[in-house]
Amino acid sequence: MTDKTANLANLDKEGLSLKSVSLWQITWRRLFKRKSALLGLGILIVLVFIALTAQWISPYDPYQVLIGIEDVDMRQAPCIHLLGCPKDQPQHIMGIDGNVRDQFSRLLYGTRLSLMVGLTTVSFAIIIGTILGALSGYFGGWVDNTIMRVMDVLLAFPSLLLAIAIVTVLGPGLINALLAIGIVSIPAYARVVRSSVLSVREMDYVSATRALGGNNFDILFKRIMPNALTPLIVQGTLGIATAILDAAALSFLGLGAQPPTPEWGQMLSAERNQVFTAPHLVFYPGFAIMTTVLAFNLLGDGLRDALDPRLAHTSK
Amino acid sequence: MIQYITRRMFMAIPVLFGILLVTFALARLIPGDPCRAILGEKATDAVCERFIHERGLDKPIPVQFGVYLKEIIRGDFGRSIRYSLPVTRLLVERLPTTVELSFAALTLSLIIGIPLGIISAVRHNSWIDVLTMMWANAGVSMPVFWLGLMLAYIFSLVLKDTPFWLPPSGRVSPGISTAAFYDVWGLSVYGQGLGVAILNFLSRLNILNAILSGNWKLLGDSIKHLILPAVALSTIPMALIARMTRSSMLEVLGQDYIRTARAKGLAKRMVILKHAFRNSLLPLVTVIGLSLGSLLGGAVLTETIFGLSGLGRTLYDAITARDYVIVQSFTVVIAIFFVILNLIVDVSYAYLDPRIKLD
Amino acid sequence: MACETHLTRVWLILVSNEVERVVTKNNAAPLLEIKHLKTHFFTEDGVVRAVDGVDLQVFPGEVVGLVGESGCGKSVTSLSIMQLISAPGKIVAGEITFEGQNLLELSEKEMMKIRGDRISMIFQQPQTSLNPVFQAGDQVAEVFRIHQKLQDEEAWEQAVELFRMVGIPAPERRAKSYPHEMSGGMAQRVMIAMALALRPNLLVADEPTTALDVTIQAQIIQLIQDLRKEVGAAVILITHDLGVVAEMAERVAVMYAGQIVEMTDVISLFDKTFHPYTQGLIGSIPVLGKVKERLEVIPGSVPNLVDLPPGCRFAPRCRARMEYGLDLCTKVEPQLIEYQPGHQVRCWLYQDTEEYKAPLKDRG
């Protein structure tokens, strides 16, 4: 028992001293031990594959209205040949939407948009958040005070509500929705970076660099930032999940992606009054959102556990 | 203790000020002519000129902000063009629905989330733990609006003509009396005072009103209407709370003082409920505070789906109608609520942890 | 450092305490008798044999020291007595007889009645061993509420009385303070008060002074000594500090890798140790007046308890094995035998083998 923890402790020490290579190896090894994280990673790989190949694997053009092309009705239920749908009818495995388009193809294209939404908002928030957090943590004093009070104010709003307010002002649309979600998630990253900067700033090797006459920004970016990377990766992965969820919510409220864009939240919103008559049009887009968000959540949790040496002790 | 509370309250003031500044700035950032943004495109130049002058929009920005502050402190949030009503009236009218819904959802997420979290921690790695965590992971990933629609589909359509049927929208069925309890009691309540407003507010909380007036039909009906939206809204906070309870319980159960309590001869159940739970409450309270944010945000979506005319639904309608006055003032009100709720959370934190007073 | 005078101090203590010590009590029935205790931990990496066949007797009123490096199974032995081993650990074999009852056969409910009442325990980290959110007095009073069903007020008064007994100044006020407002020494006094509240027959002290300042250590040892006499409790003293053992214990068991390797009275422990491991332990204490180039160090480290070497567990690190060139050590496990009256040792140097009819050491 003690032996095992001792071994893990040794591993951690190695990980820190040898820097990136072994730390990443250990993280991978730990990550692979967690079934849920692997599931998340697996789903994500499939989603990325779909996003990259959407134009080839989609049976139809997502914008193509099928009136006059195929003999299908508006909001027709799914027809899957394998499940006994007559072979003479065209196959639409997720049915036909309110504008007589193939829902499956729209859903596949939606993957692209969803991943893009997650990545762009989080990248935006990470960049701004990192700059603010680093300045705040490194310079302290009034810089720190000003930045962190602004972050406090942003955090004082329920995040979805602030995003709604921002988009209402900027005007509905996907880009504005992304911007709003990005702005709303800045404080989380700023706080993460600030606290790692604060914890690293006083460490001996940073003081040593300073004593050797390294300049401020050199120290900041070469010495401190690598240490903030770990918490940022975890926070970022979980942040993508929230961003996708919030973007879908904004689209649902009519503030995000506009028709005819194949965006899941928008697709669901367009058909929400038809839930009793054509439930498949509500079920599939929502399920797609949940699966994608779940993948990022599982992966993020797994990464956090794998990167947090403290958790090694819970197996005791 | 009192000193701590006062200090926390003073710390909240700059945040409140910041909230007002942000919403004020947002309103000024509306692209184009503020008059037409508020009154609509059809407003004539003459009308606009008068409007701008009346609202002081021709004065310098700091003065405008001063005026805005003064109005908010007086409780005047302006007038909604769409409803041609003062926003304050609208707030008082619609708040009870949201309060009832959020309260029900929070209660639900606490009474289910906490025990589930405790059981998962105590039976770490058992099937119940695995199931709870799978469910919790799905829960935090679920779009509220989708869950709401699916619940409505299942309980209102699939289970139609069974005893499990639940209404898909509204707060009460038509034909059921919602007479205020004070009327039932035979009190004559009229006028404009604060007391009347409070009584009015309470009487609009259907469940409370039903209990106070002994209107059991209304009670049953309201609860039936509340179940689906409350379940939908509670899912995310419930999952967050279950996860947090579990992880903080797991951490606490490994602490030395748990071993001490067992070595004293205390039963395992008592150790968990008294020594461990009390300690794991601390991080839990923080999460409850955070969940309140997702609860308030989620209320917009839930009320929209279930046709409940609360703050959230009104906000949604205002967005669709570009009623900036309502969006702005509701955002302020909800944010202020959120700050106050978090203040309460902070204070209860200090009450729960004797170490906090030192910091 | 204090180390320089350490062994000298040990000797002084031994000599001065000798009068008080009652070395043999073997005629009385043992208060606690552990037989072939095995406590294993079933982890992902394999079965950790933390305690692997421990035999130990404790007689009424005596102090038995349990010594060894960290990870040797001392603490797991003590938690096994209390039956506070939690998953993935499990007591897989053995008997623990206390006052004539086999504790391993008792139900959890019956065991709860014994814990904190007939057997109690104090721990290494006094400050983390107290619950941070309850008042110290309340945590002591809880013992009276559980076992004697006292009402809140009465239990509190008793707790304050105990605070006075363990020498905490201003007990009424101190009982109301929280653990974070106390020093380590004060917290350990509270723990001692809690443990001795119901006058137990056996006190298990797991490294009671390790986490404390040197000056406080002496006070706490004195306190335990005084109180155990007053209460009449036997003590199992778990420590890696031989100084503490010399100060308190009458008999000593040395543990290595989950087994007892040597068991004797405290004087012969320092006077004529048999086991090469114990010799190494004592050799690593600096001695005043003796010029040594360097302190003795036991080479290597504690073996992995999942994958133990065949034969003697100490063999890979054993100097004596190398000196005598004993092949047997790495092949067959030695037994704990009584080599001299009251002095048990687990080592091939002192055992009959098939090859040699007399122990190696006796053949000179």
Kindly report, residue by residue over C305-358, the tens digit of the pLDDT: 787 878 888 888 888 777 777 777 888 888 888 888 888 888 888 876 655 555
How much is the mean pLDDT over chain C?
Answer: 82
- pLDDT for position A186: 95
Among chain B, residues having any CB pair with chain C shorter than 8 Å are: 124, 255-257, 259-268, 275, 278-279, 352-355, 358
The b/e string for C165-182 (b: 16+ C-beta within 10 A; e otherwise) is: bbbbeebeebbebbbeeb
Task: Looking at the complex, report in whole angstroms how far the Cα of residue C76 sits from the nearest Cα belonging to chain B.
Answer: 13
Q: Which two tokens stand for residue A4?
A: 């095992």
**DSSP state letter for C346:** -
What distance in Å separates residue B193's CA from the closest CA in chain A? Answer: 31
**What is chain A's alpha carbon radius of gyration, rounded to the nearest angstrom?**
24
Q: Each residue of A235-265: pLDDT tens digit?
A: 899 999 999 999 999 999 999 999 889 999 9
CA distance C44 to A66: 57
Question: Does the distance separating the beta carbons of C147 and B255 come in below 8 Å?
Answer: no
At residue B355's C-alpha, the angle toward residues B353 and B357, to 5°, is 95
Instruction: Quote the minimal CA–CA distance from B31 to chain A in Å.
Output: 7
Asked if the peptide bond before residue A260 counts as cis, ω within 30 degrees of 0, the response is yes
* Homologous superfamily assigned to B87-320: MetI-like (1.10.3720.10)
Contact yes or no for C132 and B257 at CB 8 A:
yes
Count residue pairs from B and C with Cβ separation < 8 A.
Answer: 74
B222-228: list long-range contacts, CB under 8 Å, 24+ apart.
B222/B171, B222/B172, B224/B166, B224/B167, B225/B166, B225/B167, B225/B170, B225/B171, B225/B172, B225/B173, B226/B100, B226/B101, B226/B104, B226/B171, B227/B166, B228/B148, B228/B151, B228/B152, B228/B155, B228/B156, B228/B166, B228/B167, B228/B168, B228/B306
Cβ <8 Å between A157 and B338? yes
Of the residues B15, B125, B145, B294, the best mutation for testing chain A's interface (the one with the most A CB atoms within 10 Å of its CB) is B145
Q: Which of A152, A241, A297 sits opposite B15 (nearest CB)?
A: A152
Q: Is the pLDDT of residue B309 over 60?
A: yes
pLDDT digits (tens, 9 = 90+) for A223-243: 667 777 888 888 899 999 999
Name the pLDDT band for A18 (thresholds 50, 70, 90): very low
End-to-end CA distance of chain A: give it in Å, rounded.
Answer: 6
- Closest residue in C to B354 (Cα–Cα): C133
For chain B, the straight-line distance linking the first and the last C-alpha, in angstroms and rounded, comes to: 12
Domain ranges of chain B: 2-73, 87-320
* Chain A residues whose beta carbon lies within 8 Å of the beta carbon of residue B152: 275
Task: Determine the pLDDT at residue A3.
Answer: 41
Residue of C124, C129, C192 to mutate, interface with B, max B Cβ within 10 Å: C129
Please write the tens of the pLDDT for every residue from B32-47: 677 777 777 777 788 8
**How much is the pLDDT for B138?**
92
Q: What is the pLDDT of residue A109?
A: 94
Asked if C262 and C344 count as a contact pair (C-beta separation under 8 A), the reply is: yes
Name the more confident of C13 and C2: C13
- Number of Cβ within 10 Å of residue A204's Cβ equals 7
Tell me the per-residue pLDDT of A110-155, one tens digit each, with 9 for 90 and over: 999 999 999 999 999 999 999 999 889 888 889 999 999 899 899 8
Distance from CA of B252 to the nearest CA of C (A): 10
What's the rounded mean pLDDT across residues B52-64? 79
Contact call for A1 and C48, based on CB within 8 A = yes
H or E element at residue B256? helix B256-263
Q: Name every chain C residue with its beta carbon within 8 A of the beta carbon of A315.
A: 43-44
Cross-chain residue pair B301–A249, CB shorter than 8 Å? yes
In chain A the domains, ranked by start, together with CATH numbers, are 35-307 (1.10.3720.10)
Whole-angstrom CA distances from A278 to A271, A314, B149, B255, B304 are 8, 48, 12, 54, 19
Using CB atoms, which residue from A2, A4, A6 is nearest to C45? Answer: A4
Q: Is the Cβ pair B266, C146 closer than 8 Å? A: yes
Whether A314 sits inside 8 A of B251 (CB atoms) is yes
- Using an 8 Å Cβ cutoff, are B209 and B240 in contact? no
Report residue C4's pLDDT band, with 50, 70 and 90 as the boundaries. Answer: very low
ipTM: 0.88
Contact C131 B358 (CB under 8 A): no
- Which residues in chain C are contacts of A4 at CB distance < 8 A? 43, 45, 48, 306
Segment B169-177 mean pLDDT: 86
Position B144 scores a pLDDT of: 92
Over A108-147, what HEC string results?
HHHHHHHHHHHHHHHHHHHHHHHHHHHHHHHHCHHHHHHH
Reported as a single tens digit per residue, the pLDDT across C200-236 is 899 999 888 887 888 888 888 888 888 888 888 899 9
C44/A315 Cβ within 8 A: yes
Residue of chain C whose Cα is closest to the Cα of B278:
C133
